[in-house]
Structure 1
């Protein structure tokens, strides 16, 4: 999530944050910096709609998240076409997906990080700010016209503000979505719903009713047996329920702090009344044998086997899991079975879309600021990751080779190219053979781009979710270095205890009548001090930045 003794902070932070408030308003201090020695290869009149092309050949190093589904190839069309269009050669420092975060930390700590560090999620940045190893990118937004335009046109300032650190600056260039994109929900055997004359549940309470009816008809079955429980117990299920109750996140997206808009303060997520309600709901499902208790510990394969063998009817899902896992599994065991992902059930928070419009993005090594090609690099990043043309290139590839456009200008995959099963018999694959639609380079954008490869049913799912009210992002509470260092000592014990106790409460190993004792245990692990620190940081930031 989003450190001198407090008495020093009170004095020093006042002056620091007064200056930071000016930064936060403009975010263009590079207008007043001398970049005359850093413009080699840069375009003179780069602007929105301009095809970036460096005036001389340049190479930039980039940390590359090597995905096992499409391992890095040096002869991908992506690399050669990128060089042709931009005069930029990217030099990838490849790291396996499984080791990416750890290797990134080691490289940054040793001062050996590449200039461009993508695939970084917002909370991950906090660890690196105090070292000075990461560039405060908000100082240089004037070099990035496409990014600035999207922030303004899409009204993203509230989301961008959540990235700000205690100095009022932000250090991550995030992926931007025009609309929030919520992907994860539950999948349900729709043939069982039809058999029992049940409607698709729209709320968590209706899901309970559906599970009760399934259990009555199939008493030897746990209607709901879940996956995605390693390393976090029921990681997706906890998160879905938490956000449906108005919390910032739980499970695999556990957020220590959740914003209480009514009280105008942060609260510890795992100690809120809403989180207690989540546990009560899950405990009820387990106690009534509607939810398989093994859901919280079993492997994905075990959960899939139960679904395929008719020992469960409901499971966590995203679009790819339904298409690539569940339907093939069921086709092999029960060809008449039908399964579909349902819209996120509505909870006490109402019909909201809980997903952020920000996603993983780019850190830039502070070493880049001293490069003679710094301005060209920022222009290049702006074009590839934030311009409409760059985003289309990264996702679709080259017109006439990997995609074609109809009379209206809408792109479609070339017949000989496959991705996500859209052209299953095609000889070539967009990711594996060409390097496009690569998670390092292609993320964010307008809904029509983000959803371009979605199946019709997934697009229907997104239409339902997009019609819901976007969740208001919480206000910033940036911690200073000393506070962050202290919090880093508190967070792991607190998170681990929430996970452990949550599992005990849900499985009935601990009675929910012991809730007050559980809260006392969290307090013994510095919960109150953490909450107090977060709220002081929020008030400090609000006072300095309005």
Structure 2
């Protein structure tokens, strides 16, 4: 690996790199990109997959950071110092609280003030910024990202990547990528109550109902189940995982249109019989006082308090919630024991509803005018997609935050804690060092993704990995044109608000399920059918134009 000398001028650097890379960027479709001969300052020559990226002179890039309340961003994190040491790159940080992240990101992008690197973006959030030209078609530049290309090819991620494409055939979000689908969220159950009642872990949603009935019989004055993740929208997680078990995800996983492979077309998710079935299930839980009616709108703190004080026994969560929230909350009551059970099975069968794509990175269109643009692409490629970069972002520095065990695999240093693995350690990987920080440490091989998993979480993943990926997770592309997107966005906003509102009313019994047909007609009055016609048209057009 040969690094350009710092003493060489930008012109000489551009000339040298031009010999290797050509003067234009060619994306995954071999379409010519912008001439980058003026944007190669500090970039590495002959950079390829597996190389350690290091800018040939010090550079600084602006970046938007989600500031997680559990481990707030600190200027003295070892992450920043070691990143500069390894890559010659520093960040001009724009840190935003997680609760305001999406709104602040939109404001910055719309005003033209966004940092160059915009991570922690979930598809399809990028759609809102495509038509304005505020973000780059990143697929035009992936030839400068050999680690990314290597993983997409080796892991056969093409079908998933295709779901990101816009009507021009390009995509505008560099996704985090997993070799294997990772499904994290499920039900968390008080196992001491199961033992007390002589119950087995429920494997299906019908068995969940039976479990809640038994809990209610023993504790008639309590709601067996409550929930969190209910703001700003109702129970984003529960509606997602339950809806996925029926083939019509709601909440966090909601898409207006869901692909029906057997029919070869899309259907409107929230008007389907599948949606009605899980809404009916939740309505039954509420009606029989098995589900806390406040669960759908309360704060996380309220939900956690109900679990910690024994008012409820079942809630949703992920592995970190069990370790960082529920178990510490119950520390004063040692008899309380929690377990995240494998995602219950519903009518959709034994499916894993997770995608192999993660939140990803948008790049401001201003970046292509930056003289260090190619160096920035190489940095993103190394940090987010190389094995070494992913290990660094997650584990940190050998000898300080981790050591190599007898097997040669990384292990947390004895004095460092993460997700409860060393609960009495004086230092914390995320809070004190900034690694595994929720912005950079996403995706990768299963052994990296599951590195901090407890034995119980590894067993959970083993069960989920044995299931087939849900067929609707990787639908065929059906991107809207700019004009269609503008119209569709207006319809989507109105439809989504109404879907959330009426779904909650059905569940709480404020509206009888006998009015379901009327509800569907109300969606039609809000342009549901026109929306679906637009969706199907987009699918057929893309299939014709791009295959």
Both structures adopt the same fold (TM-score exceeding 0.5): yes
**C-alpha separation between the residues in 1 aligned to 2:298 and 2:103?**
26
Question: Structure 1 residues 402, 261: CA separation in 2 closer, same or farther (over 3 Å shift)?
Answer: same
What does the per-residue CA deviation read over 1:151-178, in whole Å, with 9 as the maximum and x for residues that have no partner?
Answer: 1111111110010001000011111111
Q: What's the counterpart of residue 296 of structure 1?
A: 296
Q: What's the counterpart of residue 168 of structure 2?
A: 167
Q: What's the counterpart of residue 12 of structure 1?
A: none
**C-alpha separation between the residues in 2 aligned to 1:306 and 1:86?**
47
Secondary structure in 1 aligned to 2:149? helix
Q: What's the counterpart of residue 435 of structure 1?
A: 434
Q: How far off its partner does 1:364 sit?
A: 0.9
Question: Structure 1 residues 97, 224: CA separation in 2 closer, same or farther (over 3 Å shift)?
Answer: closer
**C-alpha separation between the residues in 2 aligned to 1:372 and 1:413?**
39
**C-alpha separation between the residues in 2 aligned to 1:246 and 1:321?**
26
Q: What's the counterpart of residue 514 of structure 1?
A: 515
Q: What's the counterpart of residue 418 of structure 1?
A: 417
**C-alpha separation between the residues in 1 aligned to 2:229 and 2:133?**
36
Q: What's the counterpart of residue 466 of structure 1?
A: 465
Q: Is the 8 A contact 1:245 1:347 kept in 2?
A: yes
**C-alpha separation between the residues in 2 aligned to 1:301 and 1:111?**
36
Q: What's the counterpart of residue 29 of structure 1?
A: 31
**C-alpha separation between the residues in 1 aligned to 2:75 and 2:311?**
46
**C-alpha separation between the residues in 2 aligned to 1:36 and 1:303?**
56
Q: What's the counterpart of residue 309 of structure 2?
A: 309
What does the per-residue CA deviation read over 1:474-526, in whole Å, with 9 as the maximum and x for residues that have no partner?
Answer: 11111111111111211222112111211221122222111110011111111
Q: How far off its partner does 1:24 sit?
A: 11
Q: What's the counterpart of residue 344 of structure 1?
A: 343
**Aligned positions of 1:471-486 closer than 5 A:** 471-472=470-471, 473-486=474-487
- Larger mean CA deviation between 491-500 and 126-135 belongs to 491-500
Secondary structure in 2 aligned to 1:53? coil
Q: Is the 8 A contact 2:28 2:143 kept in 1?
A: no
Q: Is the 8 A contact 2:135 2:172 kept in 1?
A: yes
Q: Is the 8 A contact 1:28 1:138 kept in 2?
A: no
**C-alpha separation between the residues in 1 aligned to 2:324 and 2:176?**
26
Question: Structure 1 residues 39, 324: CA separation in 2 closer, same or farther (over 3 Å shift)?
Answer: closer
Q: How far off its partner does 1:385 sit?
A: 0.6
What does the per-residue CA deviation read over 1:78-117, in whole Å, with 9 as the maximum and x for residues that have no partner?
Answer: 2221122112222212223222222222222222222111
Secondary structure in 2 aligned to 1:432? helix
**Aligned positions of 1:260-339 closer than 5 A:** 260-332=260-332, 334-339=333-338
What does the per-residue CA deviation read over 1:177-225, in whole Å, with 9 as the maximum and x for residues that have no partner?
Answer: 1111111111112222222222111011111122222223333332222
Q: What's the counterpart of residue 12 of structure 2?
A: none
**C-alpha separation between the residues in 2 aligned to 1:87 and 1:343?**
44
Higher relative contact order (CA 8 A, sep 6+): 1
**C-alpha separation between the residues in 1 aligned to 2:62 and 2:352?**
37
Q: Is the 8 A contact 1:24 1:169 kept in 2?
A: no
Q: How far off its partner does 1:144 sit?
A: 0.8
Secondary structure in 2 aligned to 1:431? helix
Q: How far off its partner does 1:25 sit?
A: 9.3
Q: What's the counterpart of residue 104 of structure 1?
A: 105
Q: How far off its partner does 1:33 sit?
A: 5.5
Q: Is the 8 A contact 1:60 1:90 kept in 2?
A: yes
Q: Is the 8 A contact 2:27 2:140 kept in 1?
A: no
**Aligned positions of 1:159-198 closer than 5 A:** 159-198=160-199
**C-alpha separation between the residues in 1 aligned to 2:290 and 2:71?**
39
Q: What's the counterpart of residue 128 of structure 2?
A: 127
What does the per-residue CA deviation read over 1:60-82, in whole Å, with 9 as the maximum and x for residues that have no partner?
Answer: 11122222222222222222211
Q: What's the counterpart of residue 369 of structure 1?
A: 368
Structure 2: stretches of 5+ with no match in the other structure:
1-24
Secondary structure in 2 aligned to 1:404? strand
Q: What's the counterpart of residue 254 of structure 2?
A: 254
Q: Is the 8 A contact 2:26 2:143 kept in 1?
A: no
Q: What's the counterpart of residue 10 of structure 2?
A: none
Secondary structure in 1 aligned to 2:334? coil
What does the per-residue CA deviation read over 1:380-426, in whole Å, with 9 as the maximum and x for residues that have no partner?
Answer: 11111100000001111111111111233210111222222222232
**C-alpha separation between the residues in 2 aligned to 1:114 and 1:330?**
41
**C-alpha separation between the residues in 1 aligned to 2:304 and 2:65?**
31
**C-alpha separation between the residues in 1 aligned to 2:432 and 2:191?**
36
**Aligned positions of 1:32-43 closer than 5 A:** 34-43=35-44
Question: Structure 1 residues 24, 33: CA separation in 2 closer, same or farther (over 3 Å shift)?
Answer: closer
Q: Is the 8 A contact 1:29 1:140 kept in 2?
A: no
**C-alpha separation between the residues in 1 aligned to 2:304 and 2:99?**
22
Secondary structure in 1 aligned to 2:431? coil
Q: Is the 8 A contact 1:243 1:354 kept in 2?
A: yes
Q: What's the counterpart of residue 17 of structure 1?
A: none
Q: Is the 8 A contact 2:28 2:142 kept in 1?
A: no
**Aligned positions of 1:39-118 closer than 5 A:** 39-118=40-119
Question: Structure 1 residues 522, 379: CA separation in 2 closer, same or farther (over 3 Å shift)?
Answer: same
Q: What's the counterpart of residue 5 of structure 2?
A: none
Secondary structure in 2 aligned to 1:37? coil
Q: How far off its partner does 1:330 sit?
A: 3.2
**C-alpha separation between the residues in 1 aligned to 2:300 and 2:102?**
23
Q: Is the 8 A contact 2:205 2:346 kept in 1?
A: yes
Question: Structure 1 residues 112, 310: CA separation in 2 closer, same or farther (over 3 Å shift)?
Answer: closer
**C-alpha separation between the residues in 1 aligned to 2:465 and 2:458?**
10
Superposed CA RMSD: 1.9
**C-alpha separation between the residues in 2 aligned to 1:125 and 1:541?**
19
Q: Is the 8 A contact 1:134 1:363 kept in 2?
A: yes
**C-alpha separation between the residues in 2 aligned to 1:139 and 1:192?**
55
Question: Structure 1 residues 483, 187: CA separation in 2 closer, same or farther (over 3 Å shift)?
Answer: same
